[in-house]
Structure 1
Amino acid sequence: MSQRRKEILRELGLTPIWRRRGDNALSEPAPSTLTIDQSVPVVNATITATNDREAQISRMDWAQLKAAVAGCTACPLCQSRTQTVFGVGDEQADWLFIGEGPGAKEDEIGEPFVGQAGKLLDNMLRAIQLQRGDRVYITNIVKCRPPNNRNPEPSEAEQCHPYLARQIVLIKPKLIVALGKIAAQNLLHTNESIANLRGKLHYYSDIPLIVTYHPAYLLRALAEKAKAWEDLCFAKATMQSLLTQ
């Protein structure tokens, strides 16, 4: 190649000129290796798998849903549980009470709210002429006990939500009562305090939802029982209104 041509190509930004390797070719530096970001297909595959899982759960009947929960390994809580805690009660209930997560006793027995908090919940139900299993269904945000009875992590609640969402669709409750801050915040997708959420009618999809304190909290904060009673009266009045519509 002439010197003049080289100068023209250089001015146009078209150098260096790469030659084929051959007997008479000068050795040229190899172009830098193109690094392909492997994370993109992995992320897409993860999203696809998540969507597939949620779609499968959304079509399950009661028996399939219970079996899926019993064998779930979607989050690390499966490693420390004794068994899953699916829920209990009337599968065509008007009232759906949703707590945070199973405790030690629930993990042992496999039923939600069976310890001291469960006894208090039963008393709360009786106060508004309800009882476990009669027009009432009880479950939790997560189906496995968090270690040391800690609050469920957002990622754990997220993995469990398709199960809860399917339970709600199958039950078709007229009213949901969220027991405690964690349940309320997860169901309503908010960071608002329970003090700000109480006393108002919220909605999960198109289902009315009322927030009150978790029975375990009331065992530690007896002074708040009066507020919980107000919430129960509000819930009962709301249900009466729904039944007359």
Structure 2
Amino acid sequence: MEPEALDPATARALLEWQAEMGVTDAIGEEAVDRYALEAAPPPAAKPTPVPGPEGDAKPAPAAPPASPVSPASRTAPALDLGLPADPVAEAEAAAGAAGDLAALRAAIEAFPHIRHREGARRIVFSGGTPGAPLMIVGEAPGRDEDVEGEPFVGVSGQLLDRMLGAIGRDRRDPGADRGVYLTNVQHYRPPGNATPEPEEVAMLAPFLRRHIALAAPRIVVAMGNTPLRALTGQAGITRRRGTWIEDGPVPVMPTFHPAYLLRRPEGKAGAWADLQAIRDRLAAG
């Protein structure tokens, strides 16, 4: 009696179950002695006469003997289910396994789905003082950050330092009363300083959430649309800036990125109002 054919959905479910159970190789229903099949070498081909320079027939050189096959190479091919990778789920698992900031950095460096790693000089993981009450999150490293290995440097970093100084904060101060901790959503410089795509932001968001949990700030500042999207799933920094977002474990203040303020100085008044709100909340304890 012929076995009943499986519909595609059932067959796929069975393959997925087998993969979860640890199945790695596909085999037949009956055992095959592959050593016996390959014990006898193939017969050597007879030399074919080749005319020599004087017209005499000379035997062609014999073909080299076949190289022996190692037992490891005789195994059946690995089972390829053709299932798509889930980078977000992989990021969640990798980030969740990181017990401290050093382990999180190593997890990001080992994560295989970051497209821009090969074109960057180095990872730009963080700057300032871990454990500081104020954490700044930007978009991605630029050229200066890629060179120095620290977020928010160059002209935009100088503007940020002046902004932080205006509310009594200093990234170089290791004290909790004045310290600042800085990072980005993307830790490698994208080609041409391109804005990360929404799919890439969703993939990197688990690392950012874990970064915040490990750094344990009292306030997070999302500077620009990319960190706003990574932390809240929303965009529209012009509309959302200046309004506290309280639906997570740490309150988030969206505001403009210093690079945006260099291009659009008219945004500085709003950014200053946001900084004052941050200062007042930190002072309130």
Compute the TM-score of the two structures, normalised by the length of structure 2.
Answer: 0.67
Q: Going by fraction, where is helix more abundant, 1 or 2?
A: 1
Find the residue that maps to 1:165 and give its secondary structure: helix
Is residue 2:186 matched to residue 1:115? no
Partner of 2:256: 213
Q: Does 1:36 align with 2:32?
A: no
Pair 206,43 (structure 1): closer, same or farther in 2 beyond 3 Å = farther
Per the TM alignment, residue 194 of structure 1 is displaced from its structure 2 partner at its CA by 1.7
Q: Aligned residue for 1:25?
A: none
For 1:118, give the aligned amino acid: G
Give the alignment partner of residue 280 of structure 2, picking from 210, 231, 237: 237
In structure 2, C-alpha distance between the alignment counterparts of 1:130 and 1:101, rounded to whole Å? 22
Identical aligned pairs, as a percentage? 35
Equivalence map 1:12-27=2 (5 Å): none
Counterpart check, 1:157 vs 2:201: yes
| More off after superposition, 182-191 vs 112-121 | 182-191
Report how far residue 240 of structure 1 moved: 1.9
Look up the match of 1:73: 112
CA shift, 1:159, in A, is 2.4
Match of 1:168 among 212, 215, 226: 212
The CA deviation string for residues 113-133 of structure 1, in whole angstroms up to 9 with x for no partner, is 111111111111101010014
- Residue 203 of structure 1 aligns to a residue whose secondary structure is coil
Distance 2:261 2:82 in 1: 43
Which residue does the alignment assign to 1:4? Answer: none
2:221 — aligned with what? 177
| Structure-2 residue corresponding to 1:55 | 93
* C-alpha contact (below 8 Å) 2:101/2:215 kept by paired residues: no
1:136 aligned partner: 180
Secondary structure of the 2:170 match is coil
Question: 215, 226, 229: which one pairs with 2:269?
Answer: 226
Q: String of CA shifts for 1:178-202, please: whole Å, max 9, x gaps.
A: 11122212211113x2222122111
Q: Quick check: 1:188–1:203 contact (8 Å CA) kept in 2?
A: no
**Compared CA separation, residues 143 and 100, structure 1 to 2 (3 A):** same
Gaps of 5+ in 2: 17-80, 174-178
Are 1:125 and 2:164 an aligned pair? Answer: yes
Offset, 1:169: 0.7
C-alpha spacing 1:111/1:232, structure 2 compared with 1 (3 Å)? same
Tell whether the 8 Å contact from 2:88 to 2:206 is kept in structure 1 after alignment: no
SS at match of 1:105: helix
Question: Which one-letter code corresponds to 2:232 in the other structure?
Answer: L
> How far, CA to CA, are the matches of 1:166 and 1:46 in structure 2?
21
Structure 1 runs not aligned, ≥5 long = 1-19, 21-32
CA contact (8 A) 1:72 1:78 kept: no
Matching residue's letter, 1:161: A
Q: Which amino acid aligns with 1:226?
A: A
* Distance (whole Å) between structure 2 residues aligned to residue 240 and residue 43 of structure 1: 55
Work out the CA distance in 1 between the residues paired with 2:94 and 2:215. 18
Aligned-partner Cα distance in 2 for 1:147–1:79 = 10
Partner of residue 92, structure 1: 131
Name the SS of the counterpart of 2:262 in structure 1: helix
- Answer yes or no: is the 8 Å Cα contact 1:89–1:136 preserved in 2: yes
| Alignment TM-score, normalising by the size of structure 1 | 0.77
- 1:62: Cα distance to partner? 2.0
Matched position secondary structure for 2:222: strand
Q: Does 1:187 align with 2:231?
A: yes
- Kept in 2: contact 1:66–1:86 (CA 8 A): yes
Work out the CA distance in 2 between the residues paired with 1:88 and 1:232. 19
